[in-house]
Amino acid sequence: MIPLYAIKHVPSGKFLPEPTGRSRRGGSHVGPEDPNEHPPRFFTKESTAKIVLSHWLRGIVVAERGTYGSPDYEPYEDIRTIPVPTRKREEMQIVKFNLIEEVSNDHSP
């Protein structure tokens, strides 16, 4: 058995899904989803799930990057977190799953 962990919104029974942004970014932008429609995001360590949950509870992270005008075109980066008051720690739970490999008797290619 392989232990895996997911983040569950207890009142709705929904889970935080895998982010769909570039390079799996955008985890702060997702909300709990029905696991039958969007698979939960799984973690191999409980500690990682706790860290992700803590960051998610802080709010939506917005990053703006670009350059300021001439003559030097100075680069800038503005990263900020927008609080989401409806995200409540007491409504969230780290849930443990056990992944079990099923061995098939079918040896066809």
pLDDT in tens, 46-86: 999 999 999 999 999 988 877 766 667 777 788 899 999 99
3 vs 78, which has greater pLDDT? 3
**82 DSSP β-pair partners:** 60
Cα angle 60-24-53, degrees, rounded to a multiple of 5: 45
Outline where DSSP puts E strands in the chain.
2-9, 14-15, 60-67, 75-82, 92-99
Give the integer Cα–Cα distance in Å for 60 and 80.
8
* Predicted pLDDT of residue 70: 61
Q: Is the pTM of this model over 0.95?
A: no
